[in-house]
Structure 1
Amino acid sequence: MNLFSSSTLSALEKGLYGASLQQRAISQNIANVDTPNYKAKKVNFQKVFDEALSNTRLQAKQTHEKHIAFNRSQGSSPVETIRQTAYNHNGNNVDVDLEMTELAKNQIYYNALIERVNGNFNSLQTVIRGGR
């Protein structure tokens, strides 16, 4: 039995991965706020979530290399570029107020996930110590 491979810990890990992708995208957007023709990036959490779920589903044994794989990864990046809008005269579409709001939301989400991970490890530590 592997103590660190629980489904809860795995889901938290995937959530942290998505939050870190979001953090990178927001940071790039803020850093390029004055870059001409820069288009804002956004993480599609639904795509990250779907990939996380597909990795935890039943795995089929492939008996021949020409058989179609049971669980195929989409292989596409969850980071998307927003091209439809242009807020500035230089073709840039980064809205700093929106990005700062998204940054704060993402930080709260990330901190909540970290607290849950710490809670899981604290519970494990309590069990190891014999309930003390």
Structure 2
Amino acid sequence: MLDSYHLQILERSLDAATLRHQMIANNMANIDTPHYKSKQVVFEDLLQQELAGGVSGQQRLAAYRTDSRHIPFANASGFAMPQVISNGETLMQTNGNDVDMEYEMNQLAKNQIWFNGLSQITAGSFQKLKTVIQGGGK
């Protein structure tokens, strides 16, 4: 029960939100670093692509291979992994840095709301399990 498809998606989503928070904090910390390129976390689109394969998960994303001769395999967890990408095309400041503090603050607030929602859903799932284990609320 603890290894359910639903909880695995929640776990991976919480991991992605945590990584996104770290990237936003890193971007904000480097706002004055010359030639620094901001980084973003890509996850939701990858998860949507994976979920489009059906709830049974028959069409899963392949794991990243560093050499074409390596044997293909699925992700160890079987779910999409968050990816960090760098945006090297925009320039916001004269020193070559592309961090926009307003945008980062907006993303931080959005990510915090997303993380809190995921946490509440996860807590609710565990509360339901607790209720079942205790015999239905006796």
> Could you say whether these structures have the same fold, taking a TM-score greater than 0.5 normalized by the shorter chain as the test?
yes
For structure 2, list consecutive stretches of 5 or more residues without a partner in the other structure.
61-68
Match of 1:89 in 2: 94
Match of 1:98 in 2: 103
Matches within 5 A, 1:92-131: 92-131=97-136
Matches within 5 A, 1:16-95: 16-46=14-44, 48-49=46-47, 57=58, 69=72, 71=74, 78-95=83-100
1:80 counterpart SS class: strand
Distance 1:93 1:118 in 2: 38
The structure 1 residue matched to 2:13, chosen from 15, 29, 47, is 15
State the shift of 1:71 in Å: 3.8
Opposite residue 88 of structure 1, the aligned amino acid is Q
Distance 2:75 2:3 in 1: 22
Change (3 A) 1:98 1:58: closer
State the shift of 1:95 in Å: 0.3
TM-score (norm 1): 0.78
Moved more, 37-46 or 98-107: 37-46
Match of 1:63 in 2: none
For structure 1, list consecutive stretches of 5 or more residues without a partner in the other structure.
60-65
**Could you tell me whether the CA contact under 8 Å between 1:39 and 1:82 is conserved in 2?**
yes
TM-score (norm 2): 0.75
2:40 counterpart SS class: strand
Alpha carbon RMSD of aligned pairs, Å?
3.0
State the shift of 1:97 in Å: 0.3
Kindly name which structure, 1 or 2, has the bigger radius of gyration based on alpha carbons.
1
Structure having the higher helix fraction is: 1
